[in-house]
Amino acid sequence: MPKVLVSDPIEQVGLDLLAQVAQVDVQTNLSPAELVAIIPGYDALMIRSGTRVTAEVIAAANQLKIIGRAGVGVDNVDVPAATRKGIVVVNSPEGNTIAAAEHTLAMMLSLARHIPDANVSLKSGAWERKPFTGVEVYKKALGVIGLGKIGSHVATVARALGMRILAYDPYLSIERAEQLGCRLVELDVLFSESDFITLHLPKTPETQHLINAAALAKMKPTCRIINCARGGIIDEAALAAALKAGKLGGAALDVFETEPLRESPLKDLGLETILTPHLGASTEEAQANVAIDVAEQIRDVLLGLPARSAVNIPGLRPDVLEKLTPYMQLAETLGNLVGQLAGGRVESLEVRLQGELATNDSQPIVIAALKGLLSPALRERVNYVNAGLEAKERGIRVVETRDSDERDYTGSLQLIAKGPLETRSVTGALLGADELRITSIDDFPINVPPTRYMLLTVHRDMPGIIGKIGSLLGSFNVNIASMQVGRKLVRGDAVMVLSIDDPLPEGLLTEITKVSGIRDAYIVNL
Ligand SMILES: NC(=O)c1ccc[n+]([C@@H]2O[C@H](COP(=O)([O-])OP(=O)(O)OC[C@H]3O[C@@H](n4cnc5c(N)ncnc54)[C@H](O)[C@@H]3O)[C@@H](O)[C@H]2O)c1
Ligand SMILES: O=C(O)CC[C@@H](O)C(=O)O
């Protein structure tokens, strides 16, 4: 019988399901060294957010087939290391949506009516009412940042409470926002017009400290902010300072920059803050949902069947998967690249399959391209199963074209993303069996392998410009691993693609865009 290690507390219903096909060992509170020592004996690992599945754990896991995260976030799993080892990572993207949305609404109403402090006051023997005078949410403006699964449920219920909804989500179509009864606005408008602001977006390098001192200064002094998404989207020090100075009405937080939350100025504040220990998903229903969802996927994979919410490896037959995997990696990488270049709202994606790719089953390639396209917005919530549906719900039209003529490569793939303002395109191919190459950007010919950190510029092809960019990067201590320029016309426009060893330091992009001749510059993280 296969063996499953359960290293975080999981609802019994999920364990019972697994026990039908496997030996289930529950061992919580393992130290990292203990986990590394025992993992070699297991075929599956089931976790919540408490276990860190590091590259070291994965290296020791010599018979592991699947890691199941009972919840959404897989930030505690080294997914690239698992992928390299062929270990499927699955999660439950929807099992706790309602729980997190309801916790948000409870936080909003508690903040408006001071329920936690009033409760403590009464239980300590007092009967005080004046200090707990609250505000109504009826007819107030709620700003929702991130109108995905949780944000849209919060918006729907808040509308029923009589609130006006402003929303900011750069990846969502205006039509979808309108269907939800929300007005899509720019971030600054949301900051300045909202009475309540709630966050429902992923934490990414771009959203880290989205709510900083400058953003807080744009909000009404009575504005109340709720974060049941991820710690780190709010700069906690700036938030505490704004609350202390009376420049903000209140804050209710379920998630923190470091969890568990230890020393924090937020703890010293009074009525204006409500803090809960990452309870968003902690309902009986959500815990049962995620436990069943993930246990079923572990069971299926142990029985040789595909998983339905694989974060990393799609549920295809092994022989088909082996043949298509490099092309799917290419499609996902190009999708991610064109998504980052398009910079947000995409209305249509054209997938052009050329050469031998045009004769293959295109469905997995198209899905992989959509997964890549949506991953800057949705992170681990988009997978091979829901990518098509997520794209449809976001109003992205997918057009597929085929051209079986072989050009420079036996098979190549072009993705063209059209947004309301501009169209961006990228092409790629395989070199040998599985080496990925980007072969054009916006029809400028290049030939570069995709790397983790890249810098792209569109500039005038003129003497001195490459040197200036090189010295600017040098002055910020950025090491260039490779550099290539592609142009269509001598002294016309050109693109420059640089692979760099580390993320681009803050402020450098602005300096680059100031260089004479540079039309545009983009950071791309693949
Ligand atoms: N507190 C908890 O226990 C708990 C439970 C579940 C989920 N979460 C968190 O809640 C958040 C939302 O989850 P979800 O299931 O609704 O995710 P989702 O993927 O359905 O929605 C996220 C939305 O954020 C949008 N987005 C991405 N980048 C953005 C940006 N820079 N600005 C504005 N919007 C942006 C996306 O377009 C998407 O619509 C996530 O951070 C998730 O980790 C917390
Ligand atoms: O309680 C948990 O397991 C974390 C819940 C949530 O943040 C998730 O990522 O699913």
The mean pLDDT of the chain is: 92
* Ligand 2 atom showing the smallest separation from residue 91 Cα: 10
Q: Is the pLDDT of residue 316 over 70?
A: no
The stretch 8-14 carries a mean pLDDT of 97
Instruction: State if residue 281 touches ligand 2 by the CB under 6 angstroms criterion.
Output: yes
- Pairwise CA distance, residues 393 & 172, whole Å: 9
Instruction: State if residue 297 touches ligand 2 by the CB under 6 angstroms criterion.
Output: no
Mutate to test the pocket of ligand 2, among 96, 97, 203, 228 (most ligand atoms within 8 A of CB): 96
Q: Interior CA angle at 20 toward 19 and 22, to 5°?
A: 55
Tell me, in angstroms, the distance from the centre of ligand 2 to residue 490's CA: 54
- Pairwise CA distance, residues 250 & 226, whole Å: 9
Instruction: Supply the pLDDT for residue 307.
Output: 84
Nearest to 380 by CA among 57, 90, 148, 153: 90
The stretch 134-153 carries a mean pLDDT of 97
Residue 221, token pair as written in the block: 């002094």
Instruction: Supply the pLDDT for residue 302.
Output: 93
Give the number of the ligand closest to the Cα of residue 256: 1
Residue closest by Cα to atom 18 of ligand 1: 148
Decide if 445 contacts 408 (C-beta within 8 A).
no
User: What's the pLDDT tens digit per position in 427-459?
Assistant: 999 988 788 999 999 999 999 999 999 999 999
Decide if 351 contacts 413 (C-beta within 8 A).
yes
Tell me, in angstroms, the distance from the centre of ligand 2 to residue 432's CA: 41
Q: Kindly report whether the peptide bond that precedes residue 306 is cis, defined as omega within 30 degrees of 0.
A: no
Mutate to test the pocket of ligand 2, among 8, 48, 254, 259 (most ligand atoms within 8 A of CB): 48
Instruction: Supply the pLDDT for residue 172.
Output: 87
The crossing angle, in degrees rounded to 10, of helices 115-123 and 97-113 is: 70
Contacts of 304 (CB under 8 A, 6+ apart): none
- Pairwise CA distance, residues 130 & 137, whole Å: 19
- Number of Cβ within 10 Å of residue 228's Cβ equals 28
From the centroid of its chain, how far is CA 526?
A: 13
* Confidence band for 275, pLDDT divided at 50, 70 and 90: very high
Among 34-48, 277-291, 490-504, name the one with the lowest average pLDDT. Answer: 490-504
Tell me, in angstroms, the distance from the centre of ligand 2 to residue 401's CA: 40
Candidates 136, 186, 259, 285; catalytic one:
259
Tell me, in angstroms, the distance from the centre of ligand 1 to residue 119's CA: 31
Q: Is the pLDDT of residue 314 over 70?
A: no
Which segments of 153-269 are extended strands (E)? 164-168, 183-184, 196-199, 224-227, 250-253
Mark whether 390 is an active-site residue: no
* Confidence band for 408, pLDDT divided at 50, 70 and 90: low
Q: Is the pLDDT of residue 503 over 90?
A: no
Instruction: Supply the pLDDT for residue 406.
Output: 64
Contacts of 49 (CB under 8 A, 6+ apart): 8, 71, 73, 76, 278
Nearest to 379 by CA among 252, 234, 203, 187: 203
Give the number of the ligand closest to the Cα of residue 147: 1
Nearest to 176 by CA among 417, 343, 393, 398: 393
User: What's the pLDDT tens digit per position in 174-224?
Assistant: 888 999 999 999 999 999 999 999 999 999 888 999 999 999 999 999 999
Tokens 């202390």 correspond to: 244
Sorted by where each starts, the structural domains of the chain and their CATH numbers stand as 3-93+285-302 (3.40.50.720), 97-275 (3.40.50.720), 316-450 (3.30.1330.90), 451-526 (3.30.70.260)
Instruction: State if residue 74 touches ligand 2 by the CB under 6 angstroms criterion.
Output: no
The stretch 498-503 carries a mean pLDDT of 90
Percentage of the chain exceeding pLDDT 70 = 98
Mutate to test the pocket of ligand 2, among 94, 103, 278, 379 (most ligand atoms within 8 A of CB): 278
For residues 267-279, one letter each, b for 16 or more C-beta atoms within 10 angstroms of the residue's C-beta and e for the rest, the string is eebeebbbbbebe
Helices first, then strands: H and E counts in the chain = 17, 22
Q: Which residues line ligand 1 (CB under 6 A)?
A: 72-73, 96-97, 100, 145-151, 168-172, 200-202, 206-207, 228-230, 254-255, 278, 280-281, 377-378, 381
Higher pLDDT among residues 327 and 359, named by residue: 327
Residue 74, token pair as written in the block: 């897989």
Nearest to 413 by CA among 360, 472, 342, 463: 360
* Ligand 1 atom showing the smallest separation from residue 99 Cα: 5
Residue closest by Cα to atom 19 of ligand 1: 378
- Pairwise CA distance, residues 89 & 430, whole Å: 25
Mark whether 230 is an active-site residue: yes
